[in-house]
Chains A and B, each alone.
Chain A
């Protein structure tokens, strides 16, 4: 009875231990894997000793050559070779060796004494029979099975187990031999056996054959194991279930590998399905045998069927065909992949798409093939084209920028430069693009270069923009230029690759301009300070708008207090008699405080018109009046607001004074003229009247009758008229003399003497008036003109006499005294008095008479005034009607 245990295993039988032959089992390295009892006895080795041996240890060299090689051996038929075996003692024994392959690459070698061949054969047959029939056969078989096999009785006690079983399942070191197992109960040895297993055992004991190709199991160490097992009953010779046999094979690695493989197969499949790259496999005839979904999508097909079976050249451009062919050929020839190159492909709709394709030598269904990996760069291409266009545009733009622009990387290579930059260094953008730097001759001097490098590094390090100090350099045209560069850090992508963008401002013109300004400012300052005219600038803290829409009254108030002098030249200070401290910060109020009305007028006008000229009366710091002719201009800021004003000032005081003088003189002249006219008028009248009278009188005089009674009256009247005439002529002469005389000879005049002389001269009138004259000369004498003194006293006394009051006796007081730098001569009377309110300003005028007194022509006071003033003095009068008159003459 043959028990088929492992039907799939190749047949393998052996009567190993009991066989009367030497049986050795070798692995495929010819190392001893097992040795039977007879072998051990025959060769003299213990089992342990034998396991360390290899075939060459057991034979001689001659025999070795006879022993078949592994490749010669088979499982079907043994190869029999006569050769020698060596014992432990070294004794060589001639034997016949039978070599046969058993599964798992093991070789069973059986050696027998040929002489005993028949005995052995029959014994073999017997053994075979025995084996097939006895329990022991089972035991043997189990013992040497390469699988882990254990044989149990119905109580699950170990009858037998293979070496492998022991190796696989022994927990403790002392279990490592068969003795530890045989006869022991399985459940005693392995208390952790699960219920499931117990069940399986029971089932098999009942007759069930159970197995599993792959069962997950956790071993005694808690490790995950995959187990292949079989559990089946064995029958004894009475055909009863004697127990069960368990076969186990740990296939963990195997399973895991399989899993992994499956996993990777899945992965691969998924990759292939979903990868964003197109994968196409073409056979040796350039026919597509496989295309992944991406490939399908790339060419705009609906499914793989549209691709598979087609030629790849259906999807490439005609002009590329030769090139592609040669590439493919190269791959096939060299067995090396062709690297990625950019290639156009044909979309189903006829448009061109772009991909980068690499070719790999491949095998498809055991035939040589090419695997193409194609990345779709259409988008990229589009973007890159766009990018190129953008770059072109950018370049156009930056070339338009009149400033030098450049970009550098961290090592100082110029990545980008615009035309302005290139031109200023006398080179081209192409040169810079190629060399990534400027021509050597434009390297700045070492110190400056060091500074620039330092700045570059700092910009990149701190990621902050920095403006470099001004750099002077001579450009390609030989001009000195001044550049100031601002360096800005930027990154194209992430923060790691920092580059530098530089923009240079050409300050040359500005510098030149500033120089010019400075020069003209210097000139201006020079002019300002040396000008003979007054020059000043005023500023207001807050510029203001001035037009018809604002509240001018309110604004002007502010302007007057806040518009202040910020610059003033010496000439102007001199005009005001001030120091710079006095006038710096002078406001408009300060200027015009002596006449705010004039000030408001002037400033209003200036603001309305933006500029104006005017003549104004000013006050020096000490209050003295002076006149200026000013030219004023408003200053505006960019917003059109008034921000200040400046003015030129000419001192025209002299001119004005001269004007005033002139006017005065003119007035005087006119007055004089008037006087003269009046004088002429009256004089002519005064001359005419008596003359007319005389001629009429003469007509009336009766020459024929001299004794006419009227004649004496007429004669008297003639005398009167002649007298009138004479007087008039005298006065005339007097006045003329007075007016024309230039120098008055002075002499020491005694007042008392003068008075005596005058009074005696008009003695008659004085007597008639019964005038009482008193004198009081505190100043007894002085240096003066005799004629004038006489004239003064005569006129004043005569007036006092003429205009005496009829109501009271005439009293005249004449006195002299000192008054400041004058000598005052006072003549007081108690006469009629003069109504000064009425006649005050006419009093000293020519031909002014205020009383109808005879012989008063009104010239007297006029003459006195003229004479007194000629001598540098003046005359004053005090009077009350009916109260008398006092004349004070300041000599």
Chain B
């Protein structure tokens, strides 16, 4: 399972990578610390190594400049046809605000909302 994490918190990125390794969830985890970086990566991979295209994306909400919601908009525009999209997007945030949770659950591109920290149990469910 190829995983992409877009989060500005490097600690969080480290922790997610670590836990995915420990659970044998995935060894192929790439992290980006901004929406810009994330989009560039995806575009790049899609163009150069389409087989390397990630299967899962863990997307943080609160990021400077562009946040998680912004990413979704940009991503949506890029992929054009959501039915052809293979990427499963999960919203990962420390926010417990209902608005965020609802918004995420209702978003057509988002599969599920996950509250930090990412736990083994949650990962098992995703497998």
Q: Is B24 among interface residues, defined by CB-CB distance under 8 A? A: no
- 21 contacting pairs across A/B (C-beta < 8 A): A681-B95, A692-B12, A692-B116, A693-B9, A693-B11, A693-B12, A693-B117, A696-B15, A696-B19, A696-B117, A697-B11, A697-B15, A700-B15, A713-B14, A720-B11, A849-B64, A849-B65, A850-B64, A852-B8, A852-B34, A852-B65
Q: Is A717 among interface residues, defined by CB-CB distance under 8 A? A: yes
Q: Is A685 among interface residues, defined by CB-CB distance under 8 A? A: yes
Residue from A688, A721, A849, A850 within 8 A of B94 (CB atoms): A688
Per-residue CB proximity of B3-15 to A under 8 Å, as 1/0?
A: 0000011111011
Most buried by A among B11, B15, B62, B65: B11
Q: Are B64 and A858 in contact (CB under 8 A)?
A: yes
A698-751 CB contacts (< 8 Å) to partner B: 700, 710, 713, 717, 720-721
Chain B residues near A700 (CB-CB < 8 A): 15, 18
Q: Is A690 among interface residues, defined by CB-CB distance under 8 A? A: yes
Chain A residues near B11 (CB-CB < 8 A): 690, 693, 697, 717, 720-721
**Given known contacts A685-B62, A697-B15, A717-B14, is B94 in contact with A852 (CB within 8 Å)?**
no
With A and B bound together, what is the CA distance between A153 and B19 in angstroms? 210
With A and B bound together, what is the CA distance between A692 and B62 in angstroms? 15
Q: Is the interface of A mostly helix, strand, loop or mixed?
A: helix
Q: Is B105 among interface residues, defined by CB-CB distance under 8 A? A: no
With A and B bound together, what is the CA distance between A693 and B65 in angstroms? 22
Q: Is A428 among interface residues, defined by CB-CB distance under 8 A? A: no
Closest-by-CB residue of B relative to A695 is B117
Q: Is A851 among interface residues, defined by CB-CB distance under 8 A? A: yes
B56-80 CB contacts (< 8 Å) to partner A: 62, 64-65
Q: Are A685 and B15 in contact (CB under 8 A)?
A: no
With A and B bound together, what is the CA distance between A693 and B33 in angstroms? 16
Chain A residues near B94 (CB-CB < 8 A): 685, 688-689, 692
Q: Is A70 among interface residues, defined by CB-CB distance under 8 A? A: no
Q: Are B64 and A852 in contact (CB under 8 A)?
A: yes
Closest-by-CB residue of B relative to A717 is B11
A-B contact count (CB 8 A): 51
Number of interface residues of B (CB under 8 A): 19
Using A690-B11, A692-B116 as known contacts, list a sample of 8 further A-B pairs with CB atoms less than 8 Å apart, ordered by residue number in A: A681-B95, A689-B9, A689-B12, A692-B12, A692-B94, A696-B117, A717-B11, A720-B10
Most buried by B among A720, A721, A850, A852: A852
Shortest distance in angstroms between B35's beta carbon and chain A's nearest beta carbon?
A: 10
Shortest distance in angstroms between B64's beta carbon and chain A's nearest beta carbon?
A: 4
With A and B bound together, what is the CA distance between A850 and B33 in angstroms? 15
With A and B bound together, what is the CA distance between A697 and B14 in angstroms? 9
Closest-by-CB residue of A relative to B16 is A696
**Given known contacts A689-B116, A856-B64, A858-B64, is B97 in contact with A681 (CB within 8 Å)?**
yes
Shortest distance in angstroms between A834's beta carbon and chain B's nearest beta carbon?
A: 12
Chain B residues near A850 (CB-CB < 8 A): 64-65
Q: Is A272 among interface residues, defined by CB-CB distance under 8 A? A: no
Shortest distance in angstroms between A675's beta carbon and chain B's nearest beta carbon?
A: 16
B1-46 CB contacts (< 8 Å) to partner A: 8-12, 14-15, 18-19, 33-34
Q: Are A682 and B62 in contact (CB under 8 A)?
A: yes
**Which residues of A are interface residues toward B (Cβ below 8 A)?**
681-682, 685, 688-690, 692-693, 695-697, 700, 710, 713, 717, 720-721, 849-852, 856, 858
B92-127 CB contacts (< 8 Å) to partner A: 94-95, 97, 116-117
With A and B bound together, what is the CA distance between A721 and B10 in angstroms? 10
Chain B residues near A721 (CB-CB < 8 A): 11
Chain B residues near A717 (CB-CB < 8 A): 11, 14-15
Chain B residues near A697 (CB-CB < 8 A): 11, 15
Chain B residues near A852 (CB-CB < 8 A): 8, 33-34, 64-65
Chain B residues near A690 (CB-CB < 8 A): 11
Shortest distance in angstroms between B63's beta carbon and chain A's nearest beta carbon?
A: 8
Closest-by-CB residue of B relative to A693 is B11
Shortest distance in angstroms between A749's beta carbon and chain B's nearest beta carbon?
A: 33
Chain A residues near B18 (CB-CB < 8 A): 700, 710
Chain A residues near B15 (CB-CB < 8 A): 693, 696-697, 700, 717
State the 9 A-B residue pairs at the shortest beta-carbon distance, nearest first: A849-B64, A693-B11, A696-B117, A688-B94, A696-B15, A689-B94, A692-B116, A717-B11, A685-B62
Shortest distance in angstroms between A854's beta carbon and chain B's nearest beta carbon?
A: 10
With A and B bound together, what is the CA distance between A690 and B34 in angstroms? 18
With A and B bound together, what is the CA distance between A688 and B33 in angstroms? 18
Chain B residues near A713 (CB-CB < 8 A): 14
Closest-by-CB residue of A relative to B33 is A852
With A and B bound together, what is the CA distance between A717 and B11 in angstroms? 6
With A and B bound together, what is the CA distance between A856 and B8 in angstroms? 12
Chain A residues near B8 (CB-CB < 8 A): 852
Chain A residues near B12 (CB-CB < 8 A): 689, 692-693
With A and B bound together, what is the CA distance between A697 and B117 in angstroms? 10
With A and B bound together, what is the CA distance between A720 and B15 in angstroms? 13
With A and B bound together, what is the CA distance between A689 and B14 in angstroms? 13
With A and B bound together, what is the CA distance between A14 and B62 in angstroms? 194
With A and B bound together, what is the CA distance between A852 and B65 in angstroms? 7
With A and B bound together, what is the CA distance between A696 and B119 in angstroms? 9
With A and B bound together, what is the CA distance between A49 and B10 in angstroms? 202
Chain B residues near A685 (CB-CB < 8 A): 62, 94-95
Shortest distance in angstroms between B117's beta carbon and chain A's nearest beta carbon?
A: 4
Closest-by-CB residue of A relative to B34 is A852
Closest-by-CB residue of A relative to B118 is A696
Chain B residues near A851 (CB-CB < 8 A): 64-65
With A and B bound together, what is the CA distance between A721 and B97 in angstroms? 22
Chain A residues near B65 (CB-CB < 8 A): 849-852
Chain A residues near B117 (CB-CB < 8 A): 692-693, 695-696
Shortest distance in angstroms between A541's beta carbon and chain B's nearest beta carbon?
A: 66
Closest-by-CB residue of A relative to B11 is A693
Shortest distance in angstroms between A150's beta carbon and chain B's nearest beta carbon?
A: 176
With A and B bound together, what is the CA distance between A90 and B44 in angstroms? 210
Chain B residues near A696 (CB-CB < 8 A): 15, 19, 117
Chain A residues near B62 (CB-CB < 8 A): 682, 685
Shortest distance in angstroms between A451's beta carbon and chain B's nearest beta carbon?
A: 100
Shortest distance in angstroms between A131's beta carbon and chain B's nearest beta carbon?
A: 190
Chain A residues near B10 (CB-CB < 8 A): 720
Closest-by-CB residue of A relative to B15 is A696
Shortest distance in angstroms between B6's beta carbon and chain A's nearest beta carbon?
A: 12
Shortest distance in angstroms between A691's beta carbon and chain B's nearest beta carbon?
A: 8
Shortest distance in angstroms between A473's beta carbon and chain B's nearest beta carbon?
A: 95
With A and B bound together, what is the CA distance between A851 and B18 in angstroms? 28
With A and B bound together, what is the CA distance between A200 and B15 in angstroms? 195
Shortest distance in angstroms between A563's beta carbon and chain B's nearest beta carbon?
A: 57
Closest-by-CB residue of A relative to B61 is A685
With A and B bound together, what is the CA distance between A850 and B64 in angstroms? 7
Shortest distance in angstroms between A703's beta carbon and chain B's nearest beta carbon?
A: 16
Chain A residues near B97 (CB-CB < 8 A): 681
With A and B bound together, what is the CA distance between A852 and B60 in angstroms? 15
Shortest distance in angstroms between A334's beta carbon and chain B's nearest beta carbon?
A: 144
Chain B residues near A689 (CB-CB < 8 A): 9, 12, 94, 116
Shortest distance in angstroms between B16's beta carbon and chain A's nearest beta carbon?
A: 9
Shortest distance in angstroms between B5's beta carbon and chain A's nearest beta carbon?
A: 14
Chain B residues near A682 (CB-CB < 8 A): 62
Closest-by-CB residue of A relative to B94 is A688
Closest-by-CB residue of A relative to B100 is A681
With A and B bound together, what is the CA distance between A721 and B14 in angstroms? 12
Chain B residues near A693 (CB-CB < 8 A): 9, 11-12, 15, 117
Shortest distance in angstroms between B118's beta carbon and chain A's nearest beta carbon?
A: 8
With A and B bound together, what is the CA distance between A721 and B94 in angstroms? 14
With A and B bound together, what is the CA distance between A688 and B8 in angstroms? 14
Chain B residues near A688 (CB-CB < 8 A): 94-95
Chain B residues near A681 (CB-CB < 8 A): 95, 97
Chain A residues near B14 (CB-CB < 8 A): 713, 717
With A and B bound together, what is the CA distance between A685 and B60 in angstroms? 12
With A and B bound together, what is the CA distance between A693 and B13 in angstroms? 10
Shortest distance in angstroms between B36's beta carbon and chain A's nearest beta carbon?
A: 8
